[in-house]
Chain A
Amino acid sequence: MRLDYPANIKIILVPCTGKVDVVHLLRAIQKGADGAYCVGCLEGSCHYNEGNLRCRERVNHVRDLLEEVGIEGDRVRMYNLSSGEGPTFAQYATEMTEHIKKLGPNPLNTKLKN
């Protein structure tokens, strides 16, 4: 399937979103990513039972942590879809990009540059 989505999305492969750690997401934001999101299996159909649910918890935790230090928590999100849903993947990529554009650049970047 050849579907368009913004080029600013770069994918890092993990065996399961349950492998994604808080530090991975924080590192991305710390290093200047404007946003980071995890894409896992649909809830209830995790290949490893419930890795995606754990990931969602961690994403929520990271969002809280970011808010605490004055960065919009909503720069980090969790999406779910099944492997057959290419168009949905593209839709989420676009949605996330639009959403991050509205939030503007990562404040850490602005600070780093100034």
Chain B
Amino acid sequence: MISPKLVEVGRHTNIELITCSEVKDVEGDPGNFAVTLSNHPRYIDPVKCTGCGECARHCPVTAVNGYNLKLDDRRATYIEYAQAVPLAFSIDTDTCIGCGLCENMCIAKAVEYDDTERETRLTVGSVVMAAGSRGFDPSGLDYLGYGRYPNVVTSEEFERILSASGPYFGHLMRPLDREEPKRIAWLQCVGSRDKNRCGNGYCSSVCCMYAVKEAMIAKEHAHGDLDCVVFNMDMRTFGKDYELYYNRAKDKDGVTFLKARIHSVTEVPDRGDLIVKYADDTGRMQEEIFSMVVLSIGLQVQPDAAELAQRLGIELNEYNFVKTDTFAPVTTSRPGFYTCGVLQGPKDIPGSITEASAAAWAAGADLVEGRGTDIPKIEVPEQRDVTQEEPRIGVFVCNCGINIGGIVDVPAVREYAATLPGVAFSDDNLFTCSQDTQDKIKDVITEHRLNRVVVASCSPKTHAAMFMETLEACGLNKYLFEMANIRNQNSWIHSADSDVATQKAKDLVRMSVARAARLRTLNEKVVPINKKALVIGGGIAGMNAAIGLGDQGFETVLLERESELGGFARNLHHTIEGGDIQAYVNETVDKVNAHDKVEVITKARITGAEGFKGSFSTEIEMGEAKEKRAIDHGVILVATGANEYQPTEFLYGEDDRVVTQVELTDRLHDKGASDLDAVVMIQCVGSRNEEHENCSRICCQSAVKNALEIKKQSPDTQVFVLYRDIRTYGLLEDYYTEAREKGVIFIRFDKDTPPRVTAEADALRVTVKDHILQQDVEIRTDLLALSAGLRAADTDDVSSIMKFNRNPEGYFIEAHVKLRPVDMPSEGVFLCGTAHGPKLITETIAQAQAAASRATTFLAKDAIKLSAITAKVDTEHCVKCLTCVRSCPFGVPQFNTEKMEIEINEALCHGCGVCTAVCPRQVIGLSFYEDDQLMCKIDALLDAEVV
């Protein structure tokens, strides 16, 4: 999942990647910081290293492999993992014996034993701190047996065990005897929610979800029945759709979840199995034997990261997370310094990515005036028209050092290539990807008037883009390029038999040459970008997104359905941290209204929409008079928000002593709590049930917030919170702890045995079974507060007019749950706030800034080049059966009722080719993967074989 991101970072022309280095000091002010770096020696020049791995293959030294958490070995000359960026080896001098073998083996001459520590300087305008975290080390918790019993592993180690690139190649095995486990226990909250043994009072936010995932994957990998038991205090699956996954694990896939914390783990002597004893809910002792125990370790800031932050003058909280303000989630205490990810607080991947975009927004907003001034510009010569020429194919066969050349008879392949139809030139190179070979290829293309290029080397995934740039750099259309992967698919696989490998290399080259001859010039459509943004929704998310875009210098129109800005936040008083929400909303409304780049339109309604990324047009009606107006814009930010659920449960609406948490906040604000003897709260009202399966994420903290407020105003008022799992994730856990400390009583109930509420004249009576005493408790209370979940705002109109997909709960769907949490599936459309799913104000602000950031990457360009790999319809032969319309996963093909033909907008097409394969008339083609371009490969392979 992370590989494409790594490749993107590595290839991005605006990103300079400096590895193996540490920040020593940062001096100066925002806009002009002088950074001192110490660059540690890596002993292999990353510029010269091609990543071929010959050095490591010949290194005689075995070292412990830290990447696989010491579960296996590597060499002293090594690369951390196969997808590492830069793809360059380095030498671990702690274990290197200096034998010189790697230096001798390296044909690229990249090994430099005399490499030394250096100091370099950088000038930057803003700084983003993203030093992340490390898993908690459970060695100090002697009672869990980690380090003593081999089959007690951490969750990080278990991830490596499950990984195909891990120590056991993805086979489910336990460390002691490499047997497949029959029963695995996960122990949650190791190094989290523990003020006694490790001082980490916070919740690490991610462990519940990863434990569920590990159990599910382990079950998939197991050959027989695998019993998985997750011992937990609360299951905290509060993320978007996480509850569905948890329910599936529990109800369909048979993962057992037990509410118990284990006192100690012991080993069955000689067998390596582990004994886990626990007290069940009835107080009875249970004993179970497991083949493995996985410790779900929490997240923790690395001491050196904390030290760095302190050295740079960044304020940290008591747990060493970077201190940020509720209303400025990525801003650190030092001007010009921003933060994101787990360094700011425990969070999952979508949360980290969202904050990363927010931090990029903040870092960029400080530097708006200088945008585009300090980045390299690439000049591309005019393209040569080769459409009328017969194919003249150049074939470049790569030795890849000895990676290919050591096995495949490369000269024979080169000579064979020369005999193939259409080939005008063939050559072999030591490293085809090296800079000097690129220059050579350019010369050859010009000299031999080549109009197609085949490179027979490694994977197009990593190298095609670079070779295509080479073609462009000498005026050849970049789609006239084809790769034969004779390394990963050949020399690496068939290294035992040179003849077989050489023959296969010839086959692969023949197939590629056949395809190359059929490649056509493809031109990427250039779409100018309208540098205006449209933000839909004027709550906290929408206002921040609009201000965010305005601050980046882009004209923005902010649409609000109601007559005033503010959204649902208008109903709220303060955040759990004590932030004054009304003051913040008013300040933000003033700011957005005063912003010279932002136009606010209230009482707005969207009535029509067309266009695509970079060039949208939206029709609206505005004001009382429903005045019509069309807005042209380049991007859309959706921030339509959500509201509190209006319960139908527990006498709500029938008895005015039953209120929602939001109403309780109002009550506490207006009347205080001194007149209340007791207050009962019920959690998960309208959430985590049949109609609304997901968790609403924020209600546990709302309850804790109000409980604390009651205790503050009236310490003798008793507060009882009836809950299913308390989900005060991350640093919110401290407030849960504080609530208990103040005497709030928390009683857990099952979904199937909810509390019973009866109304009496002088009080309400709530009856629930206490989870520890297994006995009914009957609470007389003055007030019952229901923690009603969130409900997405009514967006039927926006959704249908603008064709934005929503999930069954009415929240808009992002492009990728994990990796693209702010992007919508249609390009140029972004999403933030509770329109995406329930979240806190601070998370909403981060996501709004992130959406502004993502939109900025779009608007900063004058035009975008669309991929040329798109589907095209031959309208003349199309019978308009609409199969493509029904089949496209992205709803791209449309039937134009005026022209009476199918249209596939190339700006929207993702290029998957599904429509081409379903078209019964075969009149849709996917450029670059045309039928003849695929069929010829089959023919080239098999015709020769039959002969």
**Complex Cα spacing A17 to B917, Å:** 10
On whether the beta carbons of B912 and A15 are closer than 8 Å, the reply is yes
Q: Which of B508, B916, B917, B935 has the most CB of A within 10 A?
A: B917
**Complex Cα spacing A13 to B484, Å:** 10
| Residue among B170, B504, B931 making CB contact with A7, cutoff 8 Å | B504
**Complex Cα spacing A1 to B459, Å:** 13
A5 within 8 A of B: yes
A28 within 8 A of B: yes
Which of A65-73, A80-88, A96-104 faces chain B?
A80-88
A33 to nearest B CB, angstroms?
6
| Residue among A2, A20, A31 making CB contact with B493, cutoff 8 Å | A2
On whether the beta carbons of A84 and B917 are closer than 8 Å, the reply is no
CB closest residue in chain B, given A85: B164
On whether the beta carbons of B494 and A7 are closer than 8 Å, the reply is yes
**Complex Cα spacing A84 to B82, Å:** 10
Secondary structure class of chain B's binding surface, majority of residues: helix
By the criterion of a CB under 8 Å from any partner CB, how many residues of chain A are at the interface?
40
**Complex Cα spacing A84 to B81, Å:** 12
Q: Which residues of A contact B910 (CB under 8 A)?
A: 48
On whether the beta carbons of B916 and A21 are closer than 8 Å, the reply is yes
- Knowing A12-B938, A51-B889 touch, does A85 contact B913 (C-beta < 8 A)? no
- Knowing A21-B931, A28-B942 touch, does A2 contact B914 (C-beta < 8 A)? no
On whether the beta carbons of B912 and A7 are closer than 8 Å, the reply is no
**Complex Cα spacing A2 to B82, Å:** 11
- Knowing A20-B917, A54-B917 touch, does A10 contact B929 (C-beta < 8 A)? no
A107 within 8 A of B: no
**Complex Cα spacing A20 to B889, Å:** 16
CB closest residue in chain A, given B403: A2
Which of B31-39, B127-135, B495-503, B748-756 faces chain A?
B495-503
B488 to nearest A CB, angstroms?
9
Q: Which residues of A contact B931 (CB under 8 A)?
A: 21, 23-24
- The residues in B between 1 and 55 inclusive whose CB is less than 8 angstroms from any CB of A are 3
**Complex Cα spacing A49 to B493, Å:** 31
| Residue among A32, A49, A86 making CB contact with B889, cutoff 8 Å | A49
| Residue among A13, A21, A48 making CB contact with B912, cutoff 8 Å | A48
B644 within 8 A of A: no
B266 within 8 A of A: no
Q: Which residues of B contact A13 (CB under 8 A)?
A: 460
Contact pattern, B 909-947, Cβ under 8 Å of A = 1, otherwise 0 = 011111011100010001001010011011101110110
A46 to nearest B CB, angstroms?
8
Q: Which of B164, B910, B939 has the most CB of A within 10 A?
A: B164
B273 within 8 A of A: no
Q: Which residues of B contact A7 (CB under 8 A)?
A: 490, 493-494, 497, 500-501, 503-504
Q: Which residues of B contact A19 (CB under 8 A)?
A: 912-914, 916-917, 926, 929
Q: Which residues of B contact A112 (CB under 8 A)?
A: 946
A50 to nearest B CB, angstroms?
6
Q: Which residues of B contact A33 (CB under 8 A)?
A: 938, 941-942
B165 within 8 A of A: yes
CB closest residue in chain A, given B460: A13
On whether the beta carbons of B889 and A83 are closer than 8 Å, the reply is no
Q: Which residues of B contact A20 (CB under 8 A)?
A: 917
Contact pattern, A 37-81, Cβ under 8 Å of B = 1, otherwise 0 = 000000000011111001000100000000000000000000000
CB closest residue in chain A, given B816: A47
B511 within 8 A of A: yes
Contact pattern, B 154-176, Cβ under 8 Å of A = 1, otherwise 0 = 00000000011100011000000
Q: Which residues of A contact B917 (CB under 8 A)?
A: 18-21, 54, 58
On whether the beta carbons of A11 and B938 are closer than 8 Å, the reply is no
Q: Which of B490, B504, B508, B945 has the most CB of A within 10 A?
A: B945
On whether the beta carbons of B495 and A2 are closer than 8 Å, the reply is yes
On whether the beta carbons of B889 and A48 are closer than 8 Å, the reply is yes
**Complex Cα spacing A88 to B163, Å:** 11
- The residues in B between 530 and 573 inclusive whose CB is less than 8 angstroms from any CB of A are none
Q: Which residues of B contact A2 (CB under 8 A)?
A: 492-493, 495
B646 within 8 A of A: no
**Complex Cα spacing A4 to B511, Å:** 22
**Complex Cα spacing A14 to B511, Å:** 14
A10 to nearest B CB, angstroms?
6
| Residue among B170, B489, B935 making CB contact with A87, cutoff 8 Å | B170
A108 to nearest B CB, angstroms?
10
- Knowing A12-B937, A19-B913 touch, does A84 contact B163 (C-beta < 8 A)? yes
**Complex Cα spacing A23 to B508, Å:** 21
- The residues in B between 886 and 914 inclusive whose CB is less than 8 angstroms from any CB of A are 887, 889-890, 910-914
B658 within 8 A of A: no
On whether the beta carbons of B511 and A10 are closer than 8 Å, the reply is yes
CB closest residue in chain A, given B912: A48
B499 to nearest A CB, angstroms?
10
**Complex Cα spacing A27 to B935, Å:** 8
Q: Which residues of A contact B914 (CB under 8 A)?
A: 16, 18-19, 48, 51, 54
On whether the beta carbons of B939 and A31 are closer than 8 Å, the reply is yes
On whether the beta carbons of A50 and B935 are closer than 8 Å, the reply is no
Q: Which residues of B contact A4 (CB under 8 A)?
A: 493-494, 496
Q: Which of B507, B912, B916 has the most CB of A within 10 A?
A: B912
B365 within 8 A of A: no
| Residue among A5, A31, A54 making CB contact with B918, cutoff 8 Å | A54
- The residues in B between 447 and 468 inclusive whose CB is less than 8 angstroms from any CB of A are 460
On whether the beta carbons of B494 and A15 are closer than 8 Å, the reply is no
On whether the beta carbons of B938 and A86 are closer than 8 Å, the reply is no
CB closest residue in chain A, given B492: A2
CB closest residue in chain B, given A45: B1
On whether the beta carbons of B504 and A10 are closer than 8 Å, the reply is yes
**Complex Cα spacing A13 to B937, Å:** 10
A56 to nearest B CB, angstroms?
12
Q: Which residues of A contact B489 (CB under 8 A)?
A: 11
B921 to nearest A CB, angstroms?
13
Q: Which residues of B contact A88 (CB under 8 A)?
A: 164, 170
A40 to nearest B CB, angstroms?
12
On whether the beta carbons of A31 and B938 are closer than 8 Å, the reply is yes
**Complex Cα spacing A49 to B815, Å:** 11
Q: Which residues of A contact B (CB under 8 A)?
A: 1-5, 7, 10-16, 18-21, 23-24, 27-28, 31-33, 47-51, 54, 58, 83-88, 90, 109, 112
A and B contact pairs by CB, cutoff 8 A, 13 listed:
A4-B494, A7-B493, A15-B929, A18-B914, A19-B914, A19-B926, A24-B938, A31-B941, A32-B945, A47-B912, A48-B889, A54-B887, A88-B170
Closest 7 CB pairs of A and B: A19-B913, A31-B942, A48-B912, A49-B889, A18-B914, A2-B492, A16-B912
User: Beyond A21-B931, A27-B939: 20 further Cβ-contacts under 8 Å?
Assistant: A3-B493, A10-B508, A10-B941, A12-B934, A16-B913, A18-B913, A19-B913, A19-B914, A20-B917, A21-B916, A23-B931, A24-B938, A27-B935, A31-B943, A32-B942, A48-B889, A48-B912, A51-B889, A51-B914, A84-B164
